[in-house]
Amino acid sequence: MIDRLLAALWPALGVLSILVLWQFGLPALGVPAYILPTPAAVFGKLWTDRQLLLANAGPTALEAVLGFLLGNVAAVLLAILFTYSRPVRAAYFPIVLFLNTIPVLALAPIFILVFGLGLLPKIVIAAVICFFPTLIAMVRGLTLASANERELMRVLSASGWEQFWRLRAPRSLPMLFTALRIAATGSVIGAIVGEWIGSNAGLGALIIQATFNYQADRLFAAVFVAAAMGLLMFGLVVLVERTGFRRWVR
């Protein structure tokens, strides 16, 4: 019990020390508030602008969730295809790896040109960020079953579907959820990047507007909401992993 309290206490003390240093140290150094506002000013802006922040958080959350679902479902399906078709994997997996090297900021204007300025390009950008880590992790995870395990399944006359569902899929879950944790926060980043390129609503648009208007406290408040959204999605992935899929593995 004491160990658990200490494990929770140390991170809390770390955050508190940073906030105290930020609140009192930067003003003492002469850093102007319009460049770097204090935590008190940011938290105050979170309250006074709560309706504006919530209104802009809605579109970003929708884009992030839909992008997360689209990117990860596409990645899992393609990973299964790569696993069961070596020619397809040999032909297209290097192309996927090459595309993964292209920065999302370079792809975002292309998606805006192709799909317009609506909701779809933001979803696609978020999906692209989620797609690559999940695909690479699943391709690796679906091949983790050893040759002896696969031979045992054949001896037991297991069908291809049974081999996948009872052996390959459970083996891949740890790597899948590791990738999903990365994708959970990445989807929020993708949605915000899409809003930077072309949008009048969303946290990304609010961040750009606050930057150009020198509203540092609103800028930091929007960033705080975006970070909280990423942490929430990360926590939901962890919750699903702990409550549902680990029972399947066992």
Taking the CA atoms of residue 189, residue 193, residue 196 and residue 199 in that order, the dihedral angle to the nearest 10 degrees is -90
> Would you state the pLDDT for residue 147?
65
pLDDT at residue 71, rounded to an integer? 93
In the predicted structure, residue 76 carries a pLDDT above the cut 60:
yes
37-249: in CATH 3.40.50.2020: no
Top-confidence residue, 61 or 162: 61
pLDDT tens digits for range 28-39: 877 777 778 888
pLDDT band at 142 (very low <50, low <70, confident <90, very high): confident
Residues 177-228: tens digit of each pLDDT: 989 999 999 999 999 988 888 778 888 889 998 888 888 888 999 999 999 9
Could you tell me the pLDDT band of residue 54, with boundaries at 50, 70 and 90?
very high
In angstroms, the CA 22 to CA 4 distance is 28
The residue with greater pLDDT, 116 or 140, is 140
Confidence band of 246 (pLDDT split at 50, 70, 90): low
The average pLDDT across 130-142 equals: 88
Q: Higher model confidence: residue 230 or residue 247?
A: 230
Report pLDDT for 153: 63
- Tell whether the model's pLDDT for residue 41 goes beyond 80: yes
Q: Which residues touch 172 (CB under 8 Å, ≥6 apart)?
A: 138, 141, 142, 144
Q: What is the mean pLDDT of residues 87-106?
A: 84
What's CA 181's distance to the chain center, in Å? Answer: 6
Residue 216's contacts (CB-CB under 8 Å, 6 or more residues apart) are 33, 34, 35, 36, 37, 210
- Could you give the CA distance from residue 175 to residue 2 in angstroms, rounded to a whole number? 32
* Domain spans in the chain, listed from the N-terminal domain onward: 1-31, 37-249
Q: What percent of the chain has pLDDT over 70?
A: 86
pLDDT tier for residue 159 given thresholds of 50, 70 and 90: low
Helix axis angle, 216-240 to 203-212, nearest 10°: 160
pLDDT for 14-30, tens place per residue? 888 888 888 888 778 77
